[in-house]
Every structure is written in structure tokens, then in C-alpha cells.
Structure 1
Amino acid sequence: MARRAAPANAPPAFFTAPPRRQLVDPNESAFSRFIREQITAPEKLPGNVSIVTGMSVFAAGIFIARTWGDMLVPA
């Protein structure tokens, strides 16, 4: 069986999802635009999770040292 080539400038043969429409609100504040573009954006999620994890470990270390720190020092 012969294989036919796709015509020039043809889209891929597999299904591709349509591009997501960017909703632009002219009344959007700079703070809400920052939250939308930097905090809740799916492509920024792995970095945001590692920042939150690092801050949580740091805060837990301070809490543990202040709560049970007297047990670390010999009497």
C-alpha cells in the first residue's frame, strides 16, 4: 500500500485542542492581573508549589525551635 504525503501547510493529523482565549478586561487592576498571570497560571504552578513548600518548612522549623527548643539545650 502506498503512503500519501500531506499537502503543504496542512495541520497535524492528530487532534489538537483549540488555543485558549485570553479574556482581557479593560477594568482589571494591576493586582488582579498579577494574581492571574503569576500566581494562578497553570504553567507557573510547579515553581509556586516549591516556593510554598520551602516557606512552610522554614516556618515549621522556627515553630519547632521556639516550642521545643529548650529540649535541645543541655540543662
Structure 2
Amino acid sequence: MARRSTPSAQPSYLPHPLNAQRRALNDPNESAFSRFLRTEIWAPEKLPGNINIVAGVTLFFGGIAAVRTWGELMIPA
């Protein structure tokens, strides 16, 4: 059950200090592509999901390559 408090109570968590630093890193000379890489690909909070996507795509294309290479061995003689 959720703990209830008075309406004037402050939140019980502290904001993450990295977010304040990340907002300060906006470079006006940064290209849109490098900003996309920084915020969507290399961002620490999104990196585990991106690694899972890369692993799945690698396994998919690796399976296609394996079947094309050794597919005849899977057919009974």
C-alpha cells in the first residue's frame, strides 16, 4: 500500500545530478546526427535496450548466413 503524506510534503527522492549536467552539454555547433547519437544511441539509460537490439539483429543475420552456408547439411540424405 502506498504511503500517504500531507499535500504540502516534498517528494522523497532527489533529482539525478547527471540530468542537470546533460542539459548543460547542449552545444550549439553540434550537428543533428551527433546529437541523435549522443541522446539515443550512447545515452546510459538507453544503452541496454540498444545492445539487445544489436544482439537480436546479429543473431538473425547470423542464422541466415549459417543456413545459406550449411543448409544442405540439414536436409536428410
One-letter amino acid of the structure 2 residue matched with residue 44 of structure 1: K
Q: Distance in 1 between matches of 2:30 and 2:38?
A: 10
Match of 1:67 in 2: 69
Q: Distance in 1 between matches of 2:48 and 2:42?
A: 11
Runs of 4+ in 1 over 3 A off after TM superposition: none
Q: Deviations over 1:11-42 (max 9, x none)?
A: x8xxx7x7131211101111000000000000
User: What is the CA distance between 1:74 and its match in structure 2?
Assistant: 3.3
SS at match of 1:42: coil
Q: Distance in 2 between matches of 1:46 and 1:27?
A: 29
Q: Distance in 2 between matches of 1:40 and 1:71?
A: 41
Q: 1:36 aligns with which of 35, 38, 43?
A: 38
**Structure-2-length-normalised TM-score:** 0.69
Counterpart mapping for 1:1-75 below 5 A: 19-20=17-18, 21-22=21-22, 23-75=25-77
Unaligned runs of 5+ in 1: 1-7
Query: How many residues of Structure 1 are paired with residues of Structure 2 in the alignment?
Result: 64
Calculate the aligned-residue CA RMSD, in Å: 2.3
One-letter amino acid of the structure 2 residue matched with residue 40 of structure 1: W
Higher helix share: 2
SS at match of 1:25: coil
